[in-house]
Chains A and B, each alone.
Chain A
Amino acid sequence: MKRDYRHDLEKTARQMILVHRVDTLIRLILRTIMKNIRVKHSGIFLYDKYKDEYVIRVSKGRRGIKIPEGFAKIKKDNSLIRYFTDKELSSFDQDFLLYNRINYYLKYSRSKGRSDLVDFLEDLKGQLSLFQAKACIPGFFRNDLIGILFLGAKEGGGVFRPEELGFLSVLASDVVMAIRNAWLFEDLNKQLDKNKKLFLNTVIAFATAIEAKDKYTSGHTERVVKYSLIIADILSKTDPGVSAEFIENLRVAALLHDIGKIGIPEEILNKKGILTGKEREFIFKHPLIGANILSPIGEFKEIIIGIKHHHERYDGKGYPSGLKREETPLIAAIIAVADSYDAMTTDRPYKKALSKDDALKEIKRNSGKQFNPRVVGAFVEAFEGNKI
């Protein structure tokens, strides 16, 4: 074993604190171990709290000897687990278990006439030989056994030396601390995810309520989502930026694009005649209001952009920001076309619907003026392919 194992230990300990994902962490630890102690294989069993058993999460080693990750587990009542956790076995060394030492324990137990211990130890030997482990180090957090590190035989034979066992024990306790942190972090993230989903679902519920308020547009949102996704699907064939993530953001943005209308009085939304200047100001505000509603959550940045700019025009005469040409992000440009097409093809209080073909003509006519030409191109392709 290298003399600078202490240096490696410190370096690993520092790195461990930075790693939040449990799998990455234990992989790092195993790499450190294999670098310093040459064994044929090694692995880490980690406690699975949902199944109440220990699963091999990481392993390294020679072909065939190495146990594939996620392939094997040990149950809680396994003698190996009991060896480390059973208080009645405290006369044995519970800081680590060496396969070769079990014979000493057996001798001791036989001399004391403890046939129960003999049976237990024979079983323990069997367990270790099943996965060819020569040394096992437990990882405890307070009284909970979080994991077990096992090592196979050393390359070229030889026993595990005291300083190697010391190195492994210290590593094991650092590891457990770090794994605990990683688990807490994972739990926290899961909770955050749950909260985000809850927030989103609440907002979507509001969006549905708003649509119900605006009686001329029932189904509008659904159709805008549909058209947007069809356009995106066609664009994805030539634009790598239209990824699964982009499409998911688009879907939500399209779903919520009119949520800002919650701030607009019903009389204005459903007015039959021409809007006054003041009334129109309300309408112009709705993208901003919508963006504001979602602003508490940073992860929704792309969605917010889609909502905020879905009324921009390619020629810069749109609102709220007067963005020109490619300044308008694609996500908003797509919704703009989808939204307009649906507005044209449904009856509104102030006008009747156009036919599908006439609406398509209008969209084409406004390519480069109101609409992004690339988006129009995709829309036309979809229309001609009978997807719209």
Chain B
Amino acid sequence: MDKRILLVDDEVEVVNFLAHFLKRFKIPTLKATSGEDAIRMYDKDNVSFVFLDIQMGGIDGLTVLKEIKAVNPEAKIMMITGKADTEHQDKAKELGAIDYIIKPLDLVDLKEKIDKYILQG
């Protein structure tokens, strides 16, 4: 796979963990710890999938979602959200997110979503 997965979360530990997790399945990644960086780094020729945290300081996840979708309506984006975030989850779906995972997440669920959306793509 030449294209990379873009990981966006303002918690650097989360980004590092996801990168390492995906590396175990031989999936290369790009890391961004802010909405601004994510928008800057997104490039539809280089990025095949995005993991995007909803709650970030600065530019929030939903805005990043909108921006990336504007650049590439086909972009595949999975939101990461906290449990109490249902209104944002619905909004994300509306804005075209492909799915979302809720923290704390079951790693089994994460693996299943990776299988479903990335490894089969």
Q: Mark B91-121, 1 if CB is under 8 A from A, else 0.
A: 0000000000001111110010000000000
A residues apposed to B, CB below 8 Å: 55-56, 63-68, 70-75, 78, 127, 130-131
User: How many A-B contacts are there with CB distance less than 8 Å?
Assistant: 43
Quote the shortest CB–CB distance from B14 to chain A (angstroms). 5
Contact A72 B106 (CB under 8 A): yes
Cβ contact of B14, chosen from A65, A68, A73, A74, cutoff 8 A: A68
Q: How far is the CA of A257 from the CA of B94 in the complex (A)?
A: 51
Contact A71 B14 (CB under 8 A): yes
The answer to whether A127 and B104 touch (CB under 8 A), given A64-B17, A68-B11, A68-B14, is no
The answer to whether A72 and B111 touch (CB under 8 A), given A66-B13, A66-B17, A67-B17, is no
Contact B104 A64 (CB under 8 A): no
Contact B105 A72 (CB under 8 A): yes
21 A–B contacts, CB within 8 A, in A order: A63-B13, A63-B16, A64-B16, A65-B17, A67-B17, A68-B11, A68-B14, A68-B17, A70-B103, A71-B13, A71-B14, A71-B17, A72-B104, A72-B106, A73-B104, A74-B106, A74-B107, A75-B106, A78-B106, A130-B108, A131-B107
Looking at B14, B17, B105, which has the most chain A CB atoms within 10 Å of its CB? B17
Report the interface size for chain B: residues with CB under 8 A from the other chain.
Answer: 15
Chain B residue at smallest Cβ distance from A126? B108
Quote the shortest CB–CB distance from A135 to chain B (angstroms). 18
Residues from chain B with a CB closer than 8 A to the CB of A67 are 17
Looking at A67, A71, A130, which has the most chain B CB atoms within 10 Å of its CB? A71
Q: How far is the CA of A75 from the CA of B106 in the complex (A)?
A: 7
Quote the shortest CB–CB distance from B117 to chain A (angstroms). 18
Q: How far is the CA of A72 from the CA of B80 in the complex (A)?
A: 12
Contact B106 A73 (CB under 8 A): yes
Residues from chain B with a CB closer than 8 A to the CB of A63 are 13, 16
Chain A residue at smallest Cβ distance from B82? A70
Residues from chain A with a CB closer than 8 A to the CB of B20 are 64-65
Quote the shortest CB–CB distance from A66 to chain B (angstroms). 7
B47 close to chain A: CB less than 8 A: no
Chain A residue at smallest Cβ distance from B11? A68
B19 close to chain A: CB less than 8 A: yes
Residues from chain A with a CB closer than 8 A to the CB of B103 are 70-71
Chain B residue at smallest Cβ distance from A130? B107
Chain B residue at smallest Cβ distance from A55? B104
Chain A residue at smallest Cβ distance from B104? A73
- Other contacts beyond A66-B17, A70-B104, A73-B105: 16, CB < 8 A: A55-B104, A63-B16, A64-B16, A64-B20, A67-B17, A71-B13, A71-B17, A71-B104, A71-B105, A72-B105, A72-B106, A72-B107, A74-B107, A75-B106, A130-B108, A131-B107
